[in-house]
Amino acid sequence: MIFSWATYGVAPASGKGYDRGNVPVTERERAIMKSFHACLLGVAVSALALSPAIAADPLKIGIVAPVTGDYAILGQQTLDGAGLAARNHDIVLTTVDESCTDDSGTAIADALTAEGVDIAIGFFCSETIRGAMPALKQAGIPAITLSARSMPLMATALENGWPLFRLAPNDQDEIDAIVKFIMGEWSDKPVALLDDGTIYFREMINSVRNALEERGLKPVLTDTFRPAQEQQLSLVRRLAQAGANHVLVGGTRSDVAILARDARQAGVNLTLLGTEAMRAQQTDVPLEPGVLAIALVEYGELPPSAALVEQAESVNIIPEGYVVPAAAAVDVAEGAYAAAGGDPARLAAMLATQTFDTPMGPVAFTEGHELAENPYFLMRWQGQQFVPVFDSDR
């Protein structure tokens, strides 16, 4: 069974994309429901907390994002989302172009400091963060990255006391989500692990296999297949001979689509699970309905973002990509500022200890300044798009 919009009493922003029906409400769904209702009250609460009687100065947020060059579309999404969240709030936004070159971080930090920002969001590149954070720490300016996933980067930040927080997955989150799903849903199934031989997927599948075996689950088959083939019938036969019918595939969307097609045509019943790579553009061979993926959701399709989506569409902004995360970062910054009583010096402490209602749902950070909730979802292909699967009946 799949997550139902009826559970929340709202319609999907796009008018499509989710199965309907009554399903049990999980803890994660309940949290998102609470967030949806709380976000309707959040503007009023934040406005009260930041009223002139309490905070005489507006919250000054720096936006560090690529507004020129090849990745300008990401910068525009960030500016759109931040602008929507800041509209009619006592917030001043300052934009600094992020070139992502090795020597750009210091100049970006200098620009933010010169503008007197209280907090900065964006930071798409590790190079920027490594160069900017020493000066931002000295200036007492926390930063929220929307994109950088590097775990060594965050380890360096913690070691040096940088006030850096990550509103994005880290390099380990996808693996953790895959392992959690397999142990929770496939632990009694004959599981196979496949990789396409590339370094990225070979290392990912090896990490998953080690984690599963540490938990007592030994795959019936671990294999490497040749990618980018017109057919995968020999692979289907190997899986059938091993008795594997639940398969994690470390490979491209195209390879998964071909494997699913060939298994169907051969009459071999396989449940296939892909990775975030499944969110790539559709290929010549369409995916079979029911193919699963562990991937990031498009937040603009979930209930907590409903009000923001309506606001975006009213001004012809498409709420995709970084629009919702950027808006969420502004809400997090504003919530921390309110919790700090308008004192910028206490912003980092509030970021580390509070939970914030945002268009992404509830946001809180761990002691390691990572997202407290793994942002990866189980997704199912339904012929036109992937949709989140919330319920445990999978």
Instruction: Check whether 246 has a pLDDT greater than 80.
Output: yes
CA distance 26 to 393: 11
Q: What is the pLDDT of residue 390?
A: 80
Q: What percent of the chain has pLDDT over 70?
A: 85
Instruction: Count Cβ atoms below 10 Å from residue 349 Cβ, excluding itself.
Output: 15
Instruction: Count Cβ atoms below 10 Å from residue 248 Cβ, excluding itself.
Output: 28
Q: Report, as an integer, the average pLDDT of 149-178.
A: 98
Lowest mean pLDDT among 55-64, 138-147, 154-163, 179-188: 55-64
Instruction: Check whether 151 has a pLDDT greater than 90.
Output: yes
User: Model confidence at 391, in pLDDT bands (50, 70, 90)?
Assistant: low
The model scores a pTM over 0.95:
no
Q: Report, as an integer, the average pLDDT of 289-314.
A: 97
Q: Report, as an integer, the average pLDDT of 362-381.
A: 97
Instruction: Check whether 231 has a pLDDT greater than 80.
Output: yes
Dihedral (CA of 289, 295, 299, 300) sign: negative
Instruction: Count Cβ atoms below 10 Å from residue 142 Cβ, excluding itself.
Output: 25
Instruction: Check whether 206 has a pLDDT greater than 60.
Output: yes
In sequence order, what are the beta bridge partners of 120?
Answer: 62, 143
Render pLDDT for 99-124 as a digit per residue (tens, 0 to 9): 999 899 999 999 999 999 999 999 99
Domains delineated in the chain: 7-170+301-376 (3.40.50.2300), 173-296 (3.40.50.2300)
Instruction: Check whether 340 has a pLDDT greater than 60.
Output: yes
R_g of the chain, CA atoms, integer Å: 22
Render pLDDT for 32-88 as a digit per residue (tens, 0 to 9): 444 444 443 443 334 334 443 344 599 999 999 999 999 999 999 999 999 999 999
